[in-house]
Each structure stands twice: as structure tokens, then as C-alpha cells.
Amino acid sequence: PQTIYLKDYRVPVFLVDHVDLRFELFEDGARVHSVLSMRRNPDSDSADKSLELNGDALTTLESLSLDGRALAEDAYENRVDRLVIHDVPDRFELGVVTWLEPQNNTRLEGLYQSSGMFCTQCEAEGFRCITYFPDRPDVMARFRTRIEADKASFPILLSNGNDVDKGDLENGRHFVTWEDPFPKPSYLFALVAGDLVEKRDSFHTMSGRDIDLRMYVEPRNAEKCDHAMDSLKRSMRWDEEVYGREYDLDIFMIVAVDDFNMGAMENKGLNIFNSSCVLASQETATDLAFQRIESIVAHEYFHNWSGNRVTCRDWFQLSLKEGFTVFRDSQFSADMGSPTVKRIEDATMLRTAQFAEDSGPMAHPVRPESYMEITNFYTLTIYEKGCEVVGMIHTLLGPDMFRKGSDLYFERHDGQAVTTDDFVRAMEDASGRDLSQFRLWYEQAGTPELTVQDEYDQAAGIYRLTIAQAIPDTPGQTNKKPQHIPFAVGLLGTGGESLPLKLSASDTDAPTDRVLELTEVSHTFEFHDVPERPVPSLLRNFSAPVRVYYPWTRDQLVFLMSHDPDGFNRWDAGQRLAVDVINALVGNAGSEAVDSGLTDAYRGLLTDASLDQALVAKMLQLPSEAYLIELADKPNVPAIHQARETVLGHLATALRDDLLACYQRNTVEGRYEVTPEAVARRSLRNTALAWLLHTDDEEGRALAVSQFESADNMTDRMGALRALVNSGYDQERERTLKAFYEQWKDDPQVVEQWFAVQAGSSRTGGLPAIRELLAHPAFDWKNPNKIRSVVGVFAGQNLPAFHAEDGSGYRFLEEQVRRLDDSNPQIAARLVSPLTRWRKFAPVHGEQMKTALESIRDKAGLSRDVYEVVHKSLA
Ligand code: BAL
Ligand code: ZN
């Protein structure tokens, strides 16, 4: 496959002003008539007279005409993925007719069928699977779309914009015509046709317009729309209040689809969602799912400005819309719930998974320089690190200047396809700050490592912090330049008080919280009038996506856990302490007692009801195995698993009575609500239950069974089920799993959770059990959610089984990737990911992982998606 480089970017030679589409949808296929009004781009210096359009093997070209006249066969070349039309005039209308078979489209790109309904996914390059088109985001056109289908089977026909015409046709068919007044790139095109129920609401905008809000779902999901609709209205209000952005069309539509590669898609005016990311009821969705849905609904809605009104010039700029929009949805979620908890969740994901990506063979900058298959670049680096980069600009500029910058960005670039550099420039122009060095965050891959040293000069009352930064080499990049890093700090005195941070002796009125700006390889900061050696609180609120090394003692960590006014760092101190205690036991199980400092600290968390319970609920989560593995060099996975289990077992035994008390205290009657307080209560209760069952506590068992049977919501039912599945109570496990399935077997979203709880369990998720799940009648190889909930969860969460000594876990993944490569390459390429880190693991494991990758590499007809990941990993 060909590699595409940013440096080769050229403006399009031809532009499309208008696209007229007519879809004829039938049982055995779809015919697409397209008329493109095109003209030569005045900004292009190309003298080439031929027009090149993108296409795909999924389309069959039926006919081609130019200005109404059929094109002779020698007037063009059809190279399947490209159509070259020779000698076109400067302005013309091109007619293209294609035939598709959506019912056989298992790639789920372009037009396909899911549970009988027709739907589309065009980002990044799916529109070319529908018709031949200059399928690149800097070609923006106005679309008019007429959809024709059987009226009884497909009463609902949707596309972007406003419905401008509809009527009946012969043979029981009907049509609806949609017109989108906003020019858009083809990746934002969408079509849906199905037998769906409609839920309606409305939103009154800040300028006084009433927007018609509509959700379309299959009839069985009619009762699962309220949460998404409420989330949408909150998002619309929030974007007006915080960013001054108002919705622009008269209608906003959301559709839920069961078979979907991504979480959701921000098509203009017609967002399409993976069912699991939009449908919720208290009986079927956990608190986590409620929160995820709120943030994804917001994310897709926010794209209307950050992505649709202002879009990307090319796919190297993907983070322009994704990083910024993730930042916006993170701010929104923080405002809707607990900002500290949201920060902890974001940092956990970043440190566990993005840091791993950034130190592996697929590491790439936030603005990549090359790719083979763009769908492989919808990564944690583009999304989450991209969000952090925008967040650092927010920190450096402050909220007011940042808002000025975003206003300028939207105003300056409305209706344009632009670059990350344009975004940074708007921030610079609005604030007067120079962000030239900061731009390196977009250009250099790899996670900066900050090594912090300190010294205290008692006589002078001066405390010095020296911070050195280094950025590891990544594929294709060495000798990196130092980056501009906002590093938030505080200093605590021995009584736990926050010390003023005086950067000079004459600094009066010094704050107790500062953002230090690191720009050099090494920086020393002097703090004056420091009366005693302080305990440093570093990288407060995770002010930059970096690793920090500082030799805190365990006593200092315990101290920070209870005294740091920065909630994030309180949590982080607990994590560091737990990591230290677990790591001391790795390969050493049973020979060393678990530090009583950790037990005491956790007891304090469990018993002190005056603490922020949402934060406590997070602090009681031990670092995950995935995070411990990420931190380790040549990790021994079974030993890490064992050490973590030992610590958990120790804590559960030592704190049994406190856990029971915590469980009881957090068992309260009342209506189910997804407030931070209620979520924290359920989280604490279910953590206590899980810990109790970890030691096969009889009382815990009885509580879990009773909670499973009486729960009125999925969080508590799943909490009890998970605790039982991971316990030694075989009978209860079997009984509850069976009962759960019987109750929910008709609800695919719940069945996905049932698969996942088993596939992720180190107690039940051995390979024979995983194979049984794959053979289960509810498993479906065509449904990405099912594949993720079994294969993805096994390889990503059931780490002792995936890293089994005999290499069987790796061979299993290899087998599934090879199988999926033919039907859904996008999903196959995502699933390969755990194998790509083979160099990180000890020789035997690493070699076995490499062998699995080589076997995938050697598969005949390997997709471009999987080819890129495998070849880069083996390089
Ligand atoms: N644009 C793809 C899905 C999302 O990030 O919203
Ligand atoms: Zn997005």
C-alpha cells in the first residue's frame, strides 16, 4: 500500500459547488445517481486537464456523463479506486451512476444495512464507497439528496439538512428530498432509511429560534431515548454559554444503529450513533454508560462548530477537530459533574493507554506526517493527547483569552477547511502570546519525561526545584527539542498548610498554586521564604501529558493523600503509593507484608464520611493491571497480576468491617439518579462488595446475591454480577450469569455487557470459556460491539489469560484478526493493537507475540488497514 505524506499536500485541482444525489434503495441493492457541479480551482496551479475522482471496490460504475452527454469509454479510465476523466472543461456537470450492495457490505463503510435499516458511515473515506467523488475534506459542497424506497419497509428516510419535498411513487414506494444549505465535505454526508420510531423535543436557542430535535430508534428501544435527548439539550445550552456557539439548522437528528465501527458520527444535522453510545435506561445501562452517553452526545453535537462549520484541510489535521472537540466535551462533563473526577478519568486513560501508544511502534505526533490507512489514525494520540494539547493552551492563556482565541478561530475560518496551525495562530493572535515552541506538541511524538530534583537551603529559606525534560525517540524521530510545558505546582508545609510560592524575595502576595512554564532542557526555580523543607505537589491537576519522576517517600505520599488541596494529586499520591506497594511484591508474593501505611490510608478513606465521596470512590480503585504493565519494563504479567491480587486480598481482609460499614452506609433507598453523589455512592458500595468477595466473604456473598436479585438499576445489578463472577462462589456465579442472560437476552446492549463481564474476568475468562462465548448464539461476527465485548475485552482486560505462558492468548487473537480482516478490516486493525507492543515484553512472551504478528502479516489478501499496523510493528 501507498504511504501518503503531509508534505505532498496540494490544493484540489477541481472543486465541487453542488452535489445532487438520488438514492434508489431496493432489497437487493441500491442505485446512486449523482450530479456534481464542478469547476477548476482558481487556487490550483496545476495545468492538468484530467479530473481524478476517488472510488472503491464496493461500487460498480454503471454510467458516466459530462454536461448531459454519456462519456465514451476512451474518455476515462476506471481503476476501481480511482476514476480518471480526460480533458474536462473548466466548468461542467458530471453525472455518475453507481450500483451498490449495502446488504453485503460487512466493512460498515459507505452505505450498508444494519438490522434491516440502511445507514452510512463516510468518515474518513466512506463516501467513495457510495459514488466516485473527490473524497477529501477540503472539497466542500452543498448537497441535495433524494431518497426513494419502499414505504412500508422504510417509512423514515433521512439525510442532512432540512426536508424540502416528499411524496408517494409507484409500486408502494415513496421519496423524501433533503437539502443542506451549509457547504460540507463528503465525510459529513449521511443517509438513513428504516422503520424507526421518532422521539421529538425542541430547543429554544439564545437568539430565540426553536430547533426541532428528533431521535430515531428501533421500536424496541423507544424507552431508551430520554437520557440522550436531555444530554443533547444540556450540550446545546452549554455551547451557547461557554463558547457562544448556536445551532444553525432548523432540525437536529440522532439515529441509533446496532452495527457501527465507531462510537458515533457527527454528520451535519444527522448524527448517527452506535446504539451502545446513545441508548440508556436505568434498568439496562450502568452509571458509566450514562456518563459516556452524555459525553458522546455532547462531543458529536460540539462538532457542529469544531469540525463541521470549521473542518480539516486534510486528514493529517484530524486532531484539529478531534482534539479540540474532546477538550470541549471534557469541559462539559466536568461542568455537569465533578471536575476532579473527570480529570482523574481522563488522566487514567491517557497514562494507561495513550502513553503506551506513544512508546510503541505506532507512535505518531498529534499531527502525523504520514499514513497508509487513515482509519488507523483515529487514535488516543489524536483524540486524547490532542485534547491535552488544547487544554495546555487553555492553561497558558487562561479561560478569557482562550475564549477570545476560539471566537477568533470560528469567525476567521467559518466555512473553511483549515489546519492545526491555523488554530494555534488564532490563539496567538487573540492573546498576543507566542506559541511557536508550543507547536512542537503537534510535531513531536512521544511522552515527555520530567525528572524533578529538589534541594532545601535552610539557612537561606530557599527551596529549589530543578526539572529536566527529555522526550524519548519514536519511530522516525530522534533528538527531540524541548517542549513548552505548563507545570502546575504547590508546596506543603509539615502541618499540611499550603506555602506561598515566592519566586523572588520581594514577591509579596504570592499564590499557593503556580503554573511554571518549562521551555528548556532543564529549569531551576527558586522559592523564597520557605520556613521548612516542604513536600512538593507536582503537575497539579495533571497540567500536561507527561511522566513525572520524583522520589517521594511512602510517608510523603500518605501525607499528600490526606493534605494536598489539589484533588487530582491526592488521588495520584494514592496511586503512586499503591503502585509502589504492589511493585514491591511482584515476583515476591507472600514474602513481604503489605505496607500498613497503605491499609491505614485506605481505612481513612473508607471511614471518613466528611471527604468528597466522589473522590474517595476513585481513590479506592487500585491501579489497574494495564497501568502497572505500562509502568513496568519487561513486565512479568502473571507476577503483576498476583501481586495486585495479594494487595487486594490483604486490604479486603484487613478492612473487612470497614468495607461492610461502607457498603451499608451507601445503601440508601430512593429514586435512581445519575448525580455525582449518587454515582459515588453506588461506586463505593460496589467496590466494597467486590473487595469482600475477593476474599470469598460469606456475608459479602449473601449481600451480592441479594443485591443482584433486588437491584432496580444496571449499575447495582452488574456490580453484584461482576463481584460474583470474580469470586470463588462457582454456584452463584453460574446461577446469576444464567439468570441475567435469560432476563436480558433480547437486548443486544445488555448482552454485550454480559459477554464483557465474562471475557474480562481472570476467574472465568480462560480460553475455553472465551471460545464458548464466540460460539454462543448471541455472538455475531458482523457486529463490532459483540467482537469488542469478547475479543477486545479478552485481549485488553483479561491480561493473565491473554499473556498465558504457552502463548495461547496471542494465537487466539491472531486467529480472530485473520478471520476479521476479510469482513471488517477497520475492526481487525484495532484488535491487533495489544500484539504490537511485543518489544516491551520479556523474551519468551515478546517472541510469541511477534510470531503471531508475522502470521497475520503472511495472510493472503491482507487489508491495507491491518497491513499498516502489522508492518510498522514488525519494522
Ligand atoms: N468523527 C468520528 C467520530 C467522532 O470523533 O466524533
Ligand atoms: Zn469526534
pLDDT class of 691 with cuts at 50, 70, 90:
very high
Mean pLDDT of all residues in 174-184: 98
pLDDT of residue 531: 96
- For the chain, what is the mean pLDDT? 97
Contacts by 834-840, CB closer than 8 A, 24 or more apart: 834/795, 834/796, 834/802, 835/810, 835/873, 836/360, 836/361, 836/362, 836/869, 836/870, 836/872, 836/873, 837/356, 837/360, 837/361, 838/873, 839/361, 840/359, 840/360, 840/633, 840/634, 840/635
**Count of alpha carbons within 13 Å of 500, Cβ hemisphere only?**
14
pLDDT of residue 590: 62
Write the residue with the smallest CA distance to atom 3 of ligand 1.
265
Instruction: Tell me the pLDDT tens digit for each residue of 79-99.
Output: 989 999 999 999 999 999 999
Q: Crossing angle, helix 676-694 and helix 287-302, to 10 degrees?
A: 140
Catalytic sites, residue numbers: 300
Query: 1-195 and 449-550 share one CATH topology?
Result: yes
pLDDT class of 866 with cuts at 50, 70, 90:
very high
- Ligand 1 contact, 384 CB (< 6 A): no
Range in 27-31, 127-131, 421-425, 505-509 the model is least confident about: 505-509
pLDDT of residue 501: 98
- Ligand 1 contact, 287 CB (< 6 A): no
Which residues, by Cβ under 5 Å, contact ligand 2, an ion? 322, 325
Distance 123 CA to ligand 1 centre (A): 8
pLDDT of residue 432: 98
Whether residue 603 is predicted with pLDDT greater than 90 in this model: the reply is yes
Whether residue 252 is predicted with pLDDT greater than 60 in this model: the reply is yes
Q: Could you tell which of 108, 120, 122, 123 is best to mutate to test the pocket of ligand 1, judged by most ligand atoms within 8 Å of the CB?
A: 123
Instruction: Tell me the pLDDT tens digit for each residue of 46-61.
Output: 999 999 999 999 999 9
d(CA 41, CA 813): 48
ipTM of the complex model:
1.00
pLDDT of residue 807: 97
Instruction: Tell me the pLDDT tens digit for each residue of 720-774.
Output: 999 999 999 999 999 999 999 999 999 999 999 999 999 999 998 899 999 999 9
- Ligand 1 contact, 266 CB (< 6 A): yes
Distance 262 CA to ligand 2 centre (A): 10
Q: How far from 689 is each of 562, 574, 703, 730, CA to CA, in Å? A: 24, 21, 8, 17
Distance 300 CA to ligand 2 centre (A): 6
pLDDT of residue 591: 52
pLDDT of residue 851: 98
Q: What are phi and psi of 485, to 5 degrees?
A: -120, 120
pLDDT of residue 588: 77
Write the residue with the smallest CA distance to atom 2 of ligand 1.
265
Distance 392 CA to ligand 1 centre (A): 22
Q: Which CATH superfamily is domain 449-550 in?
A: Aminopeptidase N, middle-beta domain (2.60.40.1840)
pLDDT of residue 592: 67
Whether residue 345 is predicted with pLDDT greater than 90 in this model: the reply is yes
Which CATH entry fits the domain spanning 1-195: 3.40.640.10, 3.40.50.720, 2.60.40.1730, 3.30.43.10?
Answer: 2.60.40.1730
Contacts by 706-713, CB closer than 8 A, 24 or more apart: 708/736, 708/739, 712/282, 712/283, 712/672, 713/282, 713/283, 713/672, 713/682
Beta strands in 27-116 (DSSP E): 29-40, 51-54, 60-66, 69-70, 76-78, 82-85, 91-100, 110-114
Instruction: Tell me the pLDDT tens digit for each residue of 630-659.
Output: 999 999 999 999 999 999 999 999 999 999
Q: Which ligand is nearest to the CA of 271?
A: 1
pLDDT class of 168 with cuts at 50, 70, 90:
very high
- The whole-model pTM stands at 0.99
Nearest-5° angle of CA 297, CA 300, CA 306?
Answer: 140
Domain range list for the chain: 1-195, 449-550
- SS3 state of residue 493: coil
- Ligand 1 contact, 4 CB (< 6 A): no
pLDDT of residue 690: 98
Instruction: Tell me the pLDDT tens digit for each residue of 384-412.
Output: 999 999 999 999 999 999 999 999 999 99
Ligand 1 atom closest to 300 (CA): 6
